[in-house]
Structure formats: structure tokens, C-alpha cells
Amino acid sequence: MKKLELLKKWFENHKGTVTAFSGGVDSSLVLYVSNLVQGENGIGLISNSESLKSKDFEVALIFCRTHNIKLEVIKTEELKDANYTSNPANRCFFCKNHLYGAMVDIIQDRYPKYTILNGTNLDDLGDYRPGLQAAEKYGIRSPLAELQISKKEVIEMAAELGLETASKPPSPCLSSRIPYGTPVSNTKLRQIEQAEYILNDFGFDRVRVRHRGDEASVEVPSDEIPSLESQFEEISQEIKELGFLKVKLDTEGFVSGKLNRVLNE
């Protein structure tokens, strides 16, 4: 049986589900299929927190409107939690702890006996993801991982279903651009967000801006570095206007999770 059919069958055994939705391809596939199988009992929930890009929030809203999916919107307060803002190596645990805790409260009150889901896929289990511990703490289910569906298969399924998120570049939490041990603040998150939007405006879709104090370190895919170099003076000036004193071009190119390397060291 094709994995997409297995995923559909997975939902038949649940009264209703609430998917932690980020607007990314993984959670959008889970949410879409839940709604496909369960109808109005397959709903989504998103936290419009400071660590989520405003464009990603808009993508999530449009996705649910387009596919007639009910979406609950909350606002978690992780920036009020010193465990989170001190930016330890397990920062993601505290973020997800706020999210899943809020979801459990909502589900118990308004959607009793519904199952809470996330978009964790098989490949995520081999990566450093402290948020998985929070999911385990609250009993969050991960249908993609449970069915051993990889990231590649997620994208293929999303494309087969015609989901617009199939081609959406990964867009993890903005705090992931700040080195561990360096405090997270709303000011830094907004600087990162706006700097990445500047790069988008210059034609670069897959980008990261690492916040290194007074310096912004810019990453694009290695094959796009020549194009970035040709426009770097203008781009650098616009990014400096956000409050950075220096802008550095990372010549290694875009690497997802680059700041996690220090954990191996």
C-alpha cells in the first residue's frame, strides 16, 4: 500500500485531531490529510509567536482558507520565559513545552478525545531536536514518523495532492539563527526577519541570516553566491540599516542547522 494511503488510513482510527501547524510542508501534509479524512474534525492550531515569521503566518492562514480547514490561532509567551530567552542548547524544548501545554489545555476544554499531532517526519528523528522531548512529555502523536515517512516522501505526497507548500523552502524558528548562549529578544528576531526579507526582495528564496551580535552573517545556496556577491554592497547597506554594524557573506553557503555544530564540538 502506498504511504499516502497508509497516512489516510491512520486517521480513520481517531475521533478527531488537532495538528500543530506552522505553515511548512510537513505539518501542512498532516493537517490536509486529517481534514481530507476527518472533515471538520481535522483542525489545525498555530501560535502567532514572535519567533514565527509574519509571512509564514500569512501562508498558514491562506492555506487553511484555501482548503476550507478550521484553524485555531493562539499566542504563546515563550519570550517571557527565561529558560527560553537565555537560549540554551535545548531552547526548542521550552518553546514546544509552551505550545503543547497550551494545546492540551485547549483540547481538554473544547475538543475532548481529540488527538494532538505534529509534523515530525522520519528524518527528524535522526537530528538534534529537543522539541521531540516536549512532544513525548505531552503525548503528541507524529503520524509521519510513525509511518516512517521521510522528508523526500513528504514533499512527493504534498506535490501529488497539489499542495502549494510542496515547494516552500524550510523556514524554522527565527531563534534558530541566534547562537546558543546568546540571549533571544524580540528586537533580534525582528532584525533577522527583516534582513531575510531584504534577501528575498533581491531574488534569494532559500536564505539564512545568523545574528552574531553586531554582525549579520548571510547564507544563500553555494551556487547563488556569485549572484549575491554582485549585489552585496547594496544588500549589505540595507541590512545595516536594521541595526547591524557589519554584514558578512558566509562563503560556505547555506547549511541548515549550522549553529548546531558547536554541540558536536
CA–chain centroid gap for 80, Å, is 20
Q: Are residues 8 and 99 in the same domain?
A: yes
Q: Are residues 7 and 125 in the same domain?
A: yes
Q: Are residues 153 and 199 in the same domain?
A: no
| CATH (domain of 213) | 3.30.70.2210
pLDDT in 10s for each residue of the chain, 265 residues: 699 999 999 999 899 999 999 999 999 999 999 999 999 999 999 999 999 999 999 999 999 999 999 999 999 989 999 999 999 999 999 999 999 999 999 988 899 999 999 999 999 887 777 888 989 999 999 999 999 999 999 999 999 999 999 999 888 899 999 999 999 999 999 999 999 999 999 999 999 999 999 999 999 999 999 999 999 999 999 999 999 999 999 999 998 777 777 666 5
Q: Are residues 52 and 34 in the same domain?
A: yes
DSSP string covering 145-205, please?
HHTT--HHHHHHHHHHTT-GGGGPPP---GGGGS-TTSPP-HHHHHHHHHHHHHHHHTT--
What is the rounded distance in angstroms from the CA atom of residue 15 to the CA atom of residue 189?
Answer: 38
Could you say which of 167, 196, 223 is where a domain stops?
Answer: 167
Q: Are residues 107 and 47 in the same domain?
A: yes
The predicted pLDDT at position 130 comes to: 82
Q: Are residues 13 and 91 in the same domain?
A: yes
Task: Name the catalytic one among 64, 92, 95, 173.
Answer: 173
Q: Can you say whether residue 113 is alpha, beta or left, with left for phi > 0 and alpha for psi between -120 and 50 degrees?
A: left
Judge whether 173 counts as a catalytic residue: yes
Could you say which of 167, 200, 226 is where a domain stops?
Answer: 167
Q: Are residues 56 and 89 in the same domain?
A: yes
The predicted pLDDT at position 259 comes to: 73
What is the rounded distance in angstroms from the CA atom of residue 42 to the CA atom of residue 114?
Answer: 9
SS3 109: helix
The predicted pLDDT at position 204 comes to: 96
Q: Are residues 229 and 194 in the same domain?
A: yes
Q: Are residues 115 and 188 in the same domain?
A: no
Residue 146 carries which side chain, given as an amino acid letter?
A: E
The predicted pLDDT at position 132 comes to: 86
The number of distinct structural domains making up the chain is 2
SS3 134: helix
Q: Are residues 100 and 181 in the same domain?
A: no
Could you say which of 133, 151, 167 is where a domain stops?
Answer: 167
Q: Residue 248 is inside which H or E element, if any?
A: strand 246-249
Burial 188-209 (b: 16+ CB within 10 A, else e): bbebbbbbbbbbeebebebbbb
Q: Are residues 107 and 186 in the same domain?
A: no
What is the rounded distance in angstroms from the CA atom of residue 30 to the CA atom of residue 20?
Answer: 9
| CATH (domain of 126) | 3.40.50.620
Containing structural domain, residue 213: 174-264
